[in-house]
Structure formats: C-alpha cells, structure tokens
Amino acid sequence: MTSLPEKTNKKLGLVIDLDICVGCQACATSCKEWNTGGYSAPLSDHDPYGADPSGAWLNRVHSYEVGEGAGSKTVHFPRSCLHCEEPDCVTVCPTGASYKREEDGIVLVNPETCIGCKLCSWACPYGAREYDYDDGVMKKCTLCVDRIYNETIPEVDRIPACVRACPTGARAFGDLGDPNSDVSKSVAKRGGYGLLEEFGYKPVNRYLPPRMGLAPGGDRVETPSPTASTVKPNGSAIERLFAWADQALSGKA
C-alpha cells in the first residue's frame, strides 16, 4: 500500500464560491479540453452524440433547486478531487500509482503504474476518481499540475484551467496552508468549509456558502454552513454524501 508524506510544504487547492457559481459548465469543459491533452493522456468519450453518451470527466457540476416560491433559487455545486490531507484513495493503492506530493500536497495518479483495479474509487467518498475504459487506468483532477508550473505559458495562465475559464470568478486557486494567502483569507471571511469533513480525510478544497437571500416573506436570511450534526450517521457513504449535499444546500438543520 502507498504511504503518505508526513507533511506537505503547501496545501494547493481550490476555493469555490457557491454564491456566484452560475452552473455554466465552463469549468467542466475547460478541464476536459486541457486534460484531454495533458498529464494523464486523453480523456475518453464513448458515443458522445448517441442516446447513451459516457466518458471520463474530472470536474462535474451538480445543480439543486432550493426553497419554494419567491424564495427559491438554484444552487450549483461543482465537484472534483479535494486533494485531501489524509486520502484513503492513496493508502489503498497496491502499486503506488496513486500518491500525494510532498512539495505541494497535490494528489496524482501515475498512469504508468496504475493497473485499473479501482480500489481508489471505492475508497474515495467524493466520487472523484474516473476510470478511463480506453486506457484502463484511473484518472482524476490534477489541479492542472502540468499547467501551474509551466513557465512556457503566460503567468496569468498558470492556474488550473477551470479557474481560468470561470466567467464569474467563482473559483480561486492557491495555498490553503498559508493563512495569509488570498484563498485562506476568503475562507476565513466567508466561513468556508470542507466537504464531509466528519469522515476525517481532511479535504483541502473549500466551499464558500451562499450569502443572504430572500425568504418567501421578503425577509433576508443567511444560509448556514453545514455541520457534522446535520448529517445522519447511518446509511452508505454515497447516501450520506447526498444527504449532506441536500441539507447543506437547502440550509436545513
């Protein structure tokens, strides 16, 4: 099994603002475009224009209808690898193909040593691993590691493709291990939280909750951040994931 570094020099990750994400899918399509020719070989598509299309996507956006009547709204919830500090997807890997980098905390998969056993996908509670049937290996968000350190492209483009493409600025990238970084400051200011933190994987990526909205009566209300107490302990990991997302995005206690 693969071991984790005792510590990482940085905690590079994403901060996603659920208040201003419009669900346009620009992050997903730009991720697909960049990674199709990037670090881990092309991302396959099967029958893309047919009745049952499928393929490998490293970034997905889920949309939820929250509330009723005049107080209702749509909340878009992007999901990709969270580059956890203690990821089981790494420690279960029998070949060492799945690993966490000591220098920046990014979790990657080496396609040369991955045998496609899918143990990592079973271990990940976030559904962030994708099996590529054409290549027979697991793939995942790399934070565009082949882009953020690429000195041959303009400095403004040395950020993940999803961040560069977002038209509303709902996505930010930086070192969440540095309390003085812009991303850390935004998390502290808005009460950003990690997804399913009660599982103990210590996800690095953070979500910023929606700001105030209008209740059906016209009063302004604040959407609370989810806590471990709002998630039912029973049920499968997938059931708990969707229960958490439902409670978090609807503001139910």
DSSP, collapsed to helix, strand or coil, labels residue 63 as strand
pLDDT at 127: 92
pLDDT at 160 over 70: yes
Domain 12-250: CATH architecture, name and number where available: 2-Layer Sandwich (3.30)
Report the chain's terminal Cα–Cα distance, integer Å: 39
pLDDT at 211: 73
Distance, CA of 127 to CA of 135 (rounded, Å): 19
Instruction: Using pLDDT thresholds of 50, 70 and 90, give the confidence band for residue 65.
Output: confident
Cβ–Cβ contacts within 10 Å for residue 212, how many? 11
Nearest to 44 by CA among 124, 99, 111, 143: 111
Nearest to 241 by CA among 66, 77, 88: 77
pLDDT at 230: 44
pLDDT in tens, 223-247: 544 444 444 455 544 455 556 565 6
pLDDT at 42: 81
Instruction: Using pLDDT thresholds of 50, 70 and 90, give the confidence band for residue 1.
Output: low
Instruction: Using pLDDT thresholds of 50, 70 and 90, give the confidence band for residue 67.
Output: confident
pLDDT at 210: 82
**Helix segments in 2-107, DSSP class H:** 26-36, 88-91
Tell me the average pLDDT across 14-28: 96
pLDDT at 253: 43
pLDDT at 141 over 50: yes
Instruction: Using pLDDT thresholds of 50, 70 and 90, give the confidence band for residue 71.
Output: confident
pLDDT in tens, 91-137: 999 999 999 999 999 999 999 999 999 999 999 999 999 999 989 99
% of the chain residues with pLDDT over 70? 81
Nearest to 27 by CA among 105, 193, 144, 174: 144
pLDDT at 77 over 80: yes
pLDDT at 74: 87
pLDDT at 66: 80
Tell me the average pLDDT across 8-19: 96
Instruction: Using pLDDT thresholds of 50, 70 and 90, give the confidence band for residue 174.
Output: very high
pLDDT at 116: 95
> Over the Cα atoms of the chain, what is R_g?
18
pLDDT at 2: 77
Nearest to 105 by CA among 83, 81, 89, 137: 83
pLDDT in tens, 26-62: 999 999 999 987 666 688 898 889 998 888 999 999 9
What would the two tokens of residue 28 be? 């997903």
The residues with which 79 forms a beta bridge, in sequence order, are: 60
Distance, CA of 165 to CA of 35 (rounded, Å): 14
Q: Which residue has the tokens 């700001």?
A: 211
pLDDT at 212: 55
Return the H-helix or E-strand segment holding 77.
Answer: strand 73-79
Residue 167 is given by DSSP the state S
